[in-house]
Chain A
């Protein structure tokens, strides 16, 4: 489904100092896969996730989505692709505190440019009740627990029926028990709903719960 081919990402730190975050990275994630992208902090795994999630553009190399090169699209088109193809889940949950749980889940539908096949509110309520949040629908994110917030974030990531769910350290801000519950949820979503999931983490025991581990070190894929 998504294929990265010879990706380089360089940052100019100073006029003549260039930091290379990704060195000639090629990888492919197929439909229905459950992948762990593992690496230490500074290994380039977040940069890789940003490029996979179309939040950032490679300095060199191509990104193919369903065989189509998307690394050269303009900002409007990549925004639209992010909206339709990708669901993001962050370590910090990144919910908007002034919106209710339901409004947070519905937020991606606000920016949808195509006519939605789903009934947004119905779908949001379904997802929230599936994640055991039916009584928190009208609560505000800062009034619910971290595990609940992350489940809201997952619901938000799923509302547009994305092809790919990208989670950046989804358990990083949660205790082990809650983290395990979240990971269990990802496993279920992948197994039962065939949702493609990529989880970026530095913890081996988290990565171990996925079906394929891509290890990254100093900007290169090592396995």
Chain B
């Protein structure tokens, strides 16, 4: 039973961890490839982990000058300024709290975004400061019941009315990360009413397909170094963010798995107790077997095999249960069981069977045949 729960929790946690990692990977991939992100401060250190730096909070921010200077780099395809705020967005009936991206029309190709109904805003909308927005499908459904119904309606942000001209296709999201499907995208110049400094918190930069990202990074750094110190900004590849997130997840996951492994040890002790009782109950049988020629090693092997069978049975049950649970929640959460966790579960449970079976089996083997056969 202990083994069952132990294997169940270990396998499930690994499955969740793998699922989450894969999910995040997909999420990043769906946000477009060959992308770089320009952010203030040095947020990723050379070791690949996140670093809390004063620069990332309240440090520099970028402005239109930077957009223009970066756009001059020929290897870059798109330079998209982003300012974002979290605010209440209301329709006539409802209010939702969500993130609003103030950005240029180039964000849509850069992040592979497209509409399911209506249109995207254009460069003219940005220049004319049109009071239009493009919203995510989840937000559309929350505020207007359906994606189609949202197009043409108005939403209010801080009492200013914006016309919804398009609703984006679903990208998925959530689980603590940004819920991309609930975002509001607004032309950044329109957004200056909320952003009087005319600053941007980040830029999404798409390099041309045949450009090496490292080269692009260096060029961006060179251009920006003329205005800022090098440690005041970072140019990050998607993969770097991914690596950093992955390393955090790996640590988190191993801690959880380690905790779950404790129940395996508890299960092992349970098996040891069962085996001790078995050995005592079968003392006479052991004596008989010894009398007719079983060696100590035969008895040892006999009880070890039983112990391993017991443990592996528990392991297989745990694995089966974990599989059923993963199957059941697959639609809600992208967990999956890989061959490594199956092998791990079986390996660990047989190991525990041997480890905790050895003492009872040794006890059985060391019984004196005469005493054992007389045992009542």
Contacts and interface: CB of A to CB of B under 8 A. Distances in A.
User: Which secondary structure characterizes the binding site on chain B?
Assistant: helix
A118 interface: no
Interface in B108-138: none
A192 B373 CA distance: 31
Contacts of B373: 90, 94
Given A94-B288, A96-B285, A79 B293 contact: yes
A107 B288 CA distance: 10
A2 B227 CA distance: 105
Contacts of A202: none
B40 interface: no
Contacts of B290: 55, 79, 82
Contacts of A80: 293, 295
B295 A156 contact: no
Contacts of B296: 75-76, 79
Interface string B336-376: 00000000000000000000000000000000011001000
Contacts of A90: 373
B93 interface: no
Given A50-B370, A55-B369, A56-B370, A84 B292 contact: no
B294 interface: yes
A3 to B, nearest CB: 22
B96 interface: no
B145 interface: no
B292 A82 contact: yes
* Interface range for B: 10 to 19
A189 B318 CA distance: 55
B294 A111 contact: yes
Given A56-B370, A94-B284, A111 B291 contact: no
A84 B293 contact: yes
Contacts of A50: 370
Q: Which of A55, A75, A79, A108: most chain B CB closer than 10 A? A: A79
A111 B212 CA distance: 70
Nearest to A96: B285
A82 B370 contact: no
A88 B369 CA distance: 13
A80 to B, nearest CB: 7
A201 interface: no
Nearest to B376: A92
Given A55-B291, A56-B370, A88-B292, A111 B298 contact: yes
Q: Which of B287, B289, B290, B292: most chain A CB closer than 10 A? A: B292
B277 interface: no
Contacts of A76: 295-297
B361 to A, nearest CB: 16
A6 B247 CA distance: 76
A19 to B, nearest CB: 15
A107 B297 contact: no
Given A55-B369, A56-B370, A94-B373, A79 B295 contact: yes
A83 interface: yes
Given A94-B284, A94-B373, A88 B297 contact: no
Nearest to A166: B291
Given A79-B294, A79-B296, A112-B293, 16 more contacts: A55-B291, A56-B370, A75-B295, A76-B296, A79-B290, A82-B290, A83-B294, A94-B284, A94-B291, A95-B288, A107-B289, A107-B292, A108-B293, A111-B293, A111-B295, A160-B293
13 contacts: A55-B290, A56-B370, A76-B297, A80-B293, A82-B290, A82-B293, A83-B292, A83-B294, A94-B287, A95-B288, A111-B292, A112-B293, A160-B293
Interface of B: 284-285, 287-298, 369-370, 373
